[in-house]
Structure 1
Amino acid sequence: MLPDPVAGKPATVDGVEFALAPGITVNLSLAVGPVLDAQVRSLTGYGMTATQARDSLVTGSPAQVAERLAAMPFTPDRGEQIELLGEVAGLLR
């Protein structure tokens, strides 16, 4: 069970002490196509085990990832965010 989220007061969960912040930030990591091993290596650099990293990634073909993302509870502007991400991808090419 997690402690009450009181900002500025350290908490200990499973022997690890950390400061709680007001609010929650969520990061979504993708491994679309043949980049799974590289993404796993990247995430293990943040202290995750390889198994935790694999389990945390949204993986698959572009169609499979699109299906999984469509089922997630994003904010109503997710379509706009996806379009902007597509624009970013085009600029990186």
Structure 2
Amino acid sequence: MDRGFMEHYFDVTFNDAIGEIAGNDERYAELQSVADEAVHTLAGSVGESNTALWEQCEHTINSLYTLQLQLVKLAYLRGAEDREKMLR
């Protein structure tokens, strides 16, 4: 497998990788709703936006989303590798 090509393909093809992969999955929608509510509650607890604490919370949340996207990408690449092995 040409890993560089597959990585590039993933980056170009999946503009909203999480949304495209999760699609209409009910469990994912439920978990996303719980996460959204947790973020909303956190925002209310730390004083909403424009505070140093909220900016740190936002940075943490964005870091977790970036981590989640990287895991999705790695799972995609693992699937591509597995497919190639199975076709041999």
When normalised by structure 1's length, the TM-score is 0.26
Q: In proportion to residue count, which structure has more strand? A: 1
Higher RCO, Cα 8 Å, sep 6+: 2
When normalised by structure 2's length, the TM-score is 0.27
Q: In proportion to residue count, which structure has more helix? A: 2
